[in-house]
Structure 1
Amino acid sequence: MLLQSALSRAEQASERAEISLTSKRKNVLALLMAAERPVSAYELADLYREGFEQSVPPMSIYRMLDFLTENNLAHKLNSENKFISCAHATCEHSHGAPQFLICEQCHKVKEAAIDKSIFIELEKAVEKAGFVLTNPQLELKCLCNECAQAGKQTD
């Protein structure tokens, strides 16, 4: 059900951009949504070959990922050079600036939105420092609860 909703949003984004939502783009979105962790374009190319018995070059995967990220259906984790599906890909309402909690041990990622008031303060601090914010996405290195608990048990 969630996949159908995300595919429907992808169809709408394609129509607005006057770009065809090809079956390959749909398949890449489906692979991202099914992935349990962030994946690289090369990993997606391998998953695509395994899942759909068709080879797609990583450069083509990158172009598909560009489309998905531009239309808020996926996110690129810059610190890891990997991609995840948007946690809000099936929502119709707007959300705050994305922040990603990335477990340093198991690499699990959780997307959480920052309250707009906090983001406004952050933006003011950036401007006060003499800079212009070009990407509001935050990536925070953390430990997920499972890895934190496992670490406590080995102490």
Structure 2
Amino acid sequence: MNKQQLNRVIDSVKEICARSSWRLTEKRRGVLELLLVSEVPLSAYEITDAYNQGTKKTIAAMTVYRILGFLEAENLVHKLGSTNNKYVACSHIACGYKHEIPQFLICGECQTTKEIACGGCPDEQEISISKSVIDELSKLVSQAGYTLMNSQLEMRVLCHNCATSKA
């Protein structure tokens, strides 16, 4: 993410703040920016280390966990279960679209992660699993006697760079 894109996303977050009852504190912004510029998911401890190395102020891991919980509740970050509970920034913050079911491509080699189409971002490629497929999977889960707890979809893939280097 380049500086211009980062500023656009942060401006969108500020607008969200203005409509809500919460503040974008320096620490919340710092944690969110670390996730926005990272190409791979980060754990709370990785975020803590990066934050403490990049700023004059320090932050405790417990504070990072609280911030991540808050950012997740506001749909600004996603927690990825298949990566040992690491986090990524939502790639659709600036599109102003009400997000559907989060869908991710996660490279099994380098861990680069891409959140795929929400269906409303004008500047993205429309690659996503259709809602009807997700609904059918949910129905099958129910028919098997289970209750779907989280419909977030995480697919292990091999990114272009890793596939090329293996060839």
User: Do the two structures share a fold, i.e. TM-score over 0.5?
Assistant: yes
Residue 69 in structure 1 maps to residue 88 in structure 2: no
Within 5 A, what are the aligned runs for 1:116-155? 116-152=131-167
**Counterpart selection for 1:31 from 34, 56, 65:** 34
Structure 1 runs, 4 residues or longer, greater than 3 Å off: 8-17
Map 1:70-109 → 2, pairs under 5 A: 70-80=73-83, 81-109=85-113
Moved more, 48-57 or 2-11: 2-11
Paired with 1:66 and 1:16, the residues of 2 have a C-alpha distance of 20
Indicate the SS of the match to 1:79: helix
| Distance (whole Å) between structure 2 residues aligned to residue 9 and residue 122 of structure 1 | 33
Partner of 1:112: 116
Structure with the largest fraction of strand: 1
List runs of 5+ in structure 2 lacking aligned partners.
Answer: 118-128
How big is the shift at 1:16?
A: 5.7
Could you say what the CA RMSD is over the residues aligned between the two structures, in angstroms? 1.8
Task: Say if 2:24 is the partner of 1:21.
Answer: yes
How big is the shift at 1:18?
A: 2.7
Q: Distance in 1 between matches of 2:18 and 2:110?
A: 38
Q: What do the CA deviations read for 1:14-43 (whole angstroms, capped 9, x no partner)?
A: 456533321110111111111121111111
* Range with greater deviation from structure 2 (111-120 or 9-18): 9-18
Deviates further, 121-130 or 17-26:
17-26
- 92-101 or 39-48, which deviates more: 92-101
Which is worse superposed, 15-24 or 71-80? 15-24
* In structure 2, distance between residues paired with 1:4 and 1:69: 20
Whole-Å Cα distance in 2 between the matches of residues 57 and 16 of structure 1? 29
> Which amino acid in 2 is paired with 1:55?
T
